[in-house]
């Protein structure tokens, strides 16, 4: 009986740990999209930037032997790819939905092309988990919260930094103003184009780092279609979290647990269709968006007022 109880506890803890790991993946990408959308730019290219970051990050990590180099390379690749969207949507005023969708397909194709020679290079995680002394020994909580890769702790720190910058600095105030009334931000002396370009690139960097985390830690390999639509979940998380880093983090954990179910249900002896399990995160995404839409029918939308609207200074 004791052995059965111990096994059950270990299985539950394993599920929760996996949920945090997948939550980290989603949160990094969603946090970057939050920054971009706060500036008034909708970027639907998160999936493509994640895929490119995953491919480039894995290649650099393998060639250098440094997972941190892989994360940085993935972030740089995502930021550079996001420039395509920034130039088209921000600089030229192209339709942001069309530009973002094009970026997704461009990124997916680029990732497959760049990573073609590394599809058979499978290895274990390049990152080692970090145990926080004095905290990792707490029953249950220690294993679930305080024994993770450095990237997870970095994601938490990034969320705090993003919240602080958006809410407590002049740059953040200007960026949020650009997302609400671009003309007012311009009149106050802020360069709307610069702020939006920077926000889109920051979003791309986070998405690329998320993809690199997937290949250097969660999977330990690269293959085509590895992101499997998780970039779209990240976009939905921004709406779920009402464009607030803290609420986006909670949503990322919720969706992270649904992603973890596929690999963990078998441990509990539960037989369930893997096809239906693959559908679960996306069904949950649709349900959440419908619920949010119904609840917000008679309330002001928390979305930035100028999101999706191009700005040209001469039109003031």
Per-residue pLDDT, 60: 94
Query: Is 131 within 8 Å of 4 (Cβ atoms)?
Result: no
Task: Summarize the confidence of residues 29-54 as an average pLDDT.
Answer: 97
pTM: 0.90
Contacts of 43 (CB under 8 A, 6+ apart): 33, 36, 37, 82, 85, 89, 96, 100, 103, 200, 203, 204
**Per residue in 152-187, pLDDT tens?**
999 999 999 999 999 999 999 999 999 999 998 998
Residue-number span of the structural domain to which 80 is assigned: 2-315
Give every CB contact of residue 65 below 8 A, 6+ residues apart in sequence.
none
The residues with which 131 forms a beta bridge, in sequence order, are 147
**For residue range 95-133, what is the model confidence (pLDDT) as tens digits?**
999 999 999 999 999 999 999 888 876 666 667 777 777
Residue 285 has pLDDT above 80, yes or no: no
CATH of the domain at 47: 1.10.3470
pLDDT: which is higher, 82 or 277: 82
First CA to last CA across the chain, in angstroms? 74
8 Å CB contact between 200 and 43: yes
Residue 82: band (very low, low, confident or very high) from pLDDT cuts 50, 70, 90: very high
Please name the residues in contact with 141: beta carbons below 8 A apart, sequence gap of 6 or more: none
The residues facing 147 across adjacent strands are: 131
Domains of the chain: total: 1
């Amino acid at each position: 009986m004791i052995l059965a109880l111990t096994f059950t506890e270990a299985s539950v803890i394993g599920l929760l740990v996996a949920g945090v790991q997948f939550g980290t993946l989603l949160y990094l990408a969603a946090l970057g999209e939050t920054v971009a959308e706060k500036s008034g730019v909708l970027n639907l290219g998160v999936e493509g930037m994640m895929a490119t970051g995953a491919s480039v990050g894995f290649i650099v990590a393998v060639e250098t032997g440094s997972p941190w180099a892989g994360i940085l390379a993935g972030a740089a690749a995502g930021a550079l790819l996001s420039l395509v969207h920034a130039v088209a949507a921000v600089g030229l005023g192209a339709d942001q939905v069309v530009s973002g969708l094009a970026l997704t397909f461009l990124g997916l194709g680029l990732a497959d092309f760049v990573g073609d020679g590394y599809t058979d290079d499978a290895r274990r995680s390049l990152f080692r988990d970090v145990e926080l002394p004095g905290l990792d020994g707490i029953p249950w909580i220690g294993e679930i919260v305080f024994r993770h890769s450095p990237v997870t702790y970095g994601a938490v720190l990034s969320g705090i930094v993003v919240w602080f910058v958006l809410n407590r600095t002049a740059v953040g105030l200007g960026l949020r103003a650009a997302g609400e009334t671009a003309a007012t931000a311009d009149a106050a002396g802020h360069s709307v184009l610069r702020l939006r370009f920077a926000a889109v690139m920051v979003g791309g960097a986070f998405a690329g780092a998320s993809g690199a985390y997937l290949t250097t830690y969660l999977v330990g390999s690269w293959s085509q279609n590895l992101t499997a639509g998780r970039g779209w979940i990240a976009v939905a998380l921004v709406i779920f979290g009402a464009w607030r880093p803290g609420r986006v983090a909670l949503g990322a954990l919720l969706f992270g647990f649904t992603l973890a179910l596929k690999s963990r249900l078998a441990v509990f002896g539960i037989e369930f269709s893997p096809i239906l399990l693959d559908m679960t995160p996306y069904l949950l995404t649709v349900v959440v968006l419908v619920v949010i839409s119904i609840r917000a029918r008679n309330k002001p939308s928390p979305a930035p007022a100028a999101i999706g609207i191009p700005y040209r200074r001469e039109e003031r």
